Amino acid sequence: MPNQDIPFDDRMLSLGLARVSEAAALASAKLIGRGNEEAADQAAVDAMRTQLNLLDIRGVVVIGEGERDEAPMLYIGEEVGRGTATGSGPEVDIALDPLEGTTLTAKDMPNALAVIAMGPRGSMLHAPDVYMDKLAIGPGFAADVVSLDMTPAQRVEALAAAKGVSCEDITVCILERPRHQDLIAEVRGTGAAIRLITDGDVAGVIHCAESAKTGIDMYMGSGGAPEGVLAAAALKCMGGQIFGRLLFRNDDERGRAAKAGITDLDRVYTRDDMVTADVIFAATGVTDGSLLAGVQREPGALTCETVLMRSMTGSVRRMTYRHPIG
Name the binding residues for substrate: 100-102, 131, 177-179, 199-201, 224
Query: What whole-number distance in Å separates Cα of residue 65 and Cα of residue 76?
Result: 7
Angle (CA) 218-221-226 rounded to 5° is 100
Q: Which stretches of 30-171 are DSSP H helices?
A: 37-52, 83-86, 102-106, 152-163
CA distances 172 to 14, 97, 130, 153, 298, Å, are 31, 24, 23, 11, 36
Q: Count H helices, E strands: the chain?
A: 11, 14
Judge contact between 245 and 269, C-beta under 8 A.
yes
Q: List, as one string, the DSSP characters of 66-95.
A: S-GGGTTS--TT-EESTHHHH--S-EEEEE
Q: Please, which residues have CB within 8 angstroms of residue 53's CB and are 6 or more apart in sequence? A: 80, 81, 82
SS3 206: helix
List the binding residues.
41, 65, 97, 100-102, 131, 177-179, 199-201, 224, 227
Beta strand 218-224 with 171-175 is: parallel
What residues are designated binding site for Mn(2+)? Answer: 41, 65, 97, 100, 227
